[in-house]
Amino acid sequence: MASFALQLSLISSHGGSPLRITASSNGIPFSKPKSGPSILELPLEKIRRPLMRTRANDPEKVKDLMESISQIGLQEPIDVLEVDGVYYGFSGCHRYEAHQRLGLPTIRCKIRRGTKETLS
């Protein structure tokens, strides 16, 4: 999903400064928490999937997610671990596959920072 920025100038008798609103394509504003994970839109090809695949995705669940994402967008970001600039997906396999199958170039991610030891 692409992001977009909308800039509006407020008109008031007291003068005004531009109001800047940034949101994802599904209308949910990006947020940058004061601490903890960041929420970013990442290209699918930048995410290594998955760390350890132990089972196949449920095709029915992926199909339902594809329909939901098409209609209302992704409601819950996938969880991604960033280690030395490389992103590893560790939660959200069905949502990730749904984005792939829909041909969407990006996905909203909740990014946590880690070390190489975290991957062991």
What pLDDT, in 10s, does the model give residues 23-60? 455 555 555 445 678 999 999 999 997 656 677 899 99
Distance CA 64, CA 81 (A): 26
Instruction: Give the model's pLDDT for residue 77.
Output: 97
Indicate yes or no: pTM above 0.75. Answer: no
Q: Does domain 34-119 have CATH number 3.90.1530.10?
A: yes
Cβ atoms of residues 10 and 17 within 8 Å: yes
Segments making up each domain of the chain, as ranges: 34-119
